[in-house]
Amino acid sequence: MKEKAKAFAIKAHHGQQRKTSNEPYVTHPIRVAKRLEANHFSDELVCAAYLHDVVEDTPYEMEDIQKQFGQRVAQLVAAHTEDKSKSWQERKEHTIAMIKDADKEVKYLIVADKLDNLLELEKELKKHGSSVWDAFNAGRDKQKWYNQSIAQNMYHGLKDSEVPDFFGMYEEAIKRVFG
């Protein structure tokens, strides 16, 4: 099922590029999936990682995900899919509110996604400087607020034994990128 999800993501994101580099977009969900797989999470969560931006950024719909990958994968993808009809601020406030009480697998997916985005942003900032911020809908200060808010809420409801190492990596990346 994981290979099928990866192939679906490659097809769905064909021709798309990352916001701040010329890298094919699909490299992002592949890295997120690999991080979750390396932490030995469920096949459904790894599949959701491959597919997490498909509904948001391609013509495919949630029904396509559910039909191909089942209810649980579709639920995980849906929990992490933003409503693009809303403003950037509204979308981010919804994610922040939702992550606090979210199912632990949803938390893992969101944080793995945000960590990968920050690590890539950090590379681009080193290469190109602060002009990288121009590629975003919201500038540095709003991005800082958003990432710090995710970090403040991601631990809520998790036992220490349920916290993966990449949560700490995310907090460290926030400090490096935003000071």
Structure pTM? Answer: 0.95
Which residue range forms the structural domain that includes residue 79?
2-178
Domains held by the chain: number = 1
Positive or negative: CA dihedral 27, 38, 149, 175: negative
d(CA 49, CA 57): 14
pLDDT above 90: residue 72: yes
Give the model's pLDDT for residue 136: 81
To the query of whether residue 57 is one of the catalytic residues in this protein, the response is: yes
| Residues in Cβ contact with 68 at an 8 Å cutoff, skipping those fewer than 6 apart | 4, 8
| Residue 103, domain CATH | 1.10.3210.10
**Catalytic, out of 23, 43, 53, 57:** 57
Is residue 18 predicted with pLDDT exceeding 90?
no
Residues 6 or more apart whose Cβ sits within 8 Å of residue 32: 49, 50, 52, 109, 112, 113, 116
> Of these residues, 56, 64, 82, 93, which one is catalytic?
56
CA distance 178 to 169: 14
pLDDT at 137 over 80: no
Cβ atoms within 10 A of the Cβ of 132, count?
A: 19
How much is the pLDDT for 146? 97
53 assigned to active site: no
pLDDT digits (tens, 9 = 90+) for 90-136: 999 999 999 999 999 999 999 999 999 999 999 999 998 888 888 88
pLDDT (tens digit per residue) in 23-55: 999 999 999 999 999 999 999 999 999 999 999
pLDDT (average), residues 63-78: 97
Report whether pLDDT(21) > 90: no
Q: What would the two tokens of residue 153 be? A: 């809420």
